[in-house]
Structure 1
Amino acid sequence: MTETQSPRSTTPKIVVLGVQPGEPPYRLVEVAGEFVGVAHSVVDVIEIAHRVGLGKVDLDDPDVVRWVGGDKFTWTVWRWT
């Protein structure tokens, strides 16, 4: 099931946007609709959650975190050649 097909009754606290090209690649992180940081790994997402006062978060819970353009293991940009 894709993220657009998955019905949700709640808005996740954290949204991790798709991978952006860079050296190294990164993902933008939003909390409650506000940009709060740049993540280069899942560890950065955890650190950002702590920094904004969310404490321990379950990165596998779609009611807590929405991963756009991949999941918590997606940290590279795919290029079709």
Structure 2
Amino acid sequence: MRREGAGRSLGHMTESQAPRIHRPPIVVLGVQQNDPPYRLVEIAGELAGKAHSVLDVIEIAREVGLDDVDLDDPDVVRWVGGDKFTWTSFWPPNRPHRERRD
């Protein structure tokens, strides 16, 4: 039977061996119902502002010094509750009602 060296335990990972969970610096949360609807934007885990469009997300990022943000890069931006094209919670936003034919 082989024994591990002193100070080493079997089956336990040290902090340096533990897997790291990557969190993108920008997180755009799900659509909030309002008039107009908006999405909250977090940067580095802190609430940074409200966005009504992707242009607002870019502007909020610039305000904290993040220039040239690639909104399609999942290592940079995490979209929660929809992608960068989702700005209403219902799709289509104003669905026309069909008239009933008898």
Same fold flag (TM > 0.5): yes
Q: Percent identity?
A: 74
Alignment of 1:14-29 (within 5 A): 14-29=26-41
Is 1:36–2:48 an aligned residue pair?
Answer: yes
Task: Report the Cα offset of residue 28 of structure 1.
Answer: 0.1
Provide the aligned length of Structure 1 versus Structure 2.
72
Aligned-CA RMSD value:
1.5
Letter in 1 for 2:30: G
SS in 1 for 2:66: coil
TM-score normalised over the length of structure 1: 0.84
Structure 2 regions of 5+ residues with no counterpart? Answer: 1-19, 92-102
Structure 1 regions of 5+ residues with no counterpart? Answer: 1-7
Name whichever of 9-18 and 24-33 sits farther off: 9-18
TM-score normalised over the length of structure 2: 0.67
Rounded Cα–Cα distance in structure 1 between residues aligned with 2:51 and 2:40 = 6
Task: Report the Cα offset of residue 69 of structure 1.
Answer: 0.2
SS in 1 for 2:39: strand
Q: Match for residue 75 of structure 1?
A: 87
SS in 2 for 1:49: helix
Larger relative strand fraction: 1
Task: Report the Cα offset of residue 10 of structure 1.
Answer: 2.1
Q: Match for residue 3 of structure 1?
A: none
Q: Match for residue 58 of structure 2?
A: 46
Q: Match for residue 12 of structure 1?
A: 24
Rounded Cα–Cα distance in structure 2 between residues aligned with 1:19 and 1:64 = 19
